[in-house]
Amino acid sequence: MGAKHFFLTILLLALLLPACKKVEKFAVEPHIEFVSLEPIDEPDNGMDVRLTFKFQDGDGDIGLGNNDLQSPFDTSSVYYYNCFITYFEKQNGEFVEVELPSTLNMRIPRLSDNTPESISGEIYLDLYANNPFSPFDTIRYELYIVDRALHHSNTITTTEYISN
């Protein structure tokens, strides 16, 4: 093979190899995985624990923007929030769900405007770990998220955490 053919073969391979790159495909239902529950070194606004989890979503429609206020995301809807958090305390050796005076549910901001596309990454949430109305100090959370198509993720449970 001559130098010209060798160069063309290398050029052709260089052009074709990026096309072979595997694009990750995930299910359209979000999937989450617990990473950690750790104290925040410098608590802000009383939030003293950081919950971190991984996510995957096949169509990239996780998150709500400031303008996402039409049904089903309006303030009177359960889907105003897209991250649902349940608080548990260990009472007499058993974890018991405790309803707090205000909700821990929140709105995760839009993670991508390029739907549909597979996305993945980590999200961290700063939360209150100390329930001033309770004598119990060991807590945990359960969490799931909902995407804009109203697909629910799996539910994760954190490790237990001893609050101050």
- Pairwise CA distance, residues 42 & 27, whole Å: 37
Per-residue tens of pLDDT for the chain, all 164 residues: 554 444 444 444 444 544 444 556 889 999 999 999 999 887 667 678 999 999 999 999 999 999 999 999 999 999 999 999 999 999 999 999 999 988 999 999 999 887 788 999 999 999 988 888 899 999 999 999 999 999 999 999 999 999 87
pLDDT of residue 3: 45
pLDDT of residue 123: 96
For 86-141, the DSSP string reads: EEEEEETTEEEE---SS---B-PPPS-SS-S--EEEEEEEEE----TT-S--EEEE
Whether the Cβ atoms of residue 57 and residue 81 lie closer than 8 Å to each other: no
Question: DSSP character for 9?
Answer: H
pLDDT of residue 23: 56
Residues 6+ apart with CB under 8 A from 76: none
pLDDT of residue 5: 40
pLDDT of residue 112: 85
Separation in Å, CA 121 to CA 33, 35, 44, 57, 111: 10, 11, 24, 10, 10
pLDDT of residue 133: 85
Whether the Cβ atoms of residue 87 and residue 104 lie closer than 8 Å to each other: yes
CA-nearest of 27, 106, 23 to 63 is 106
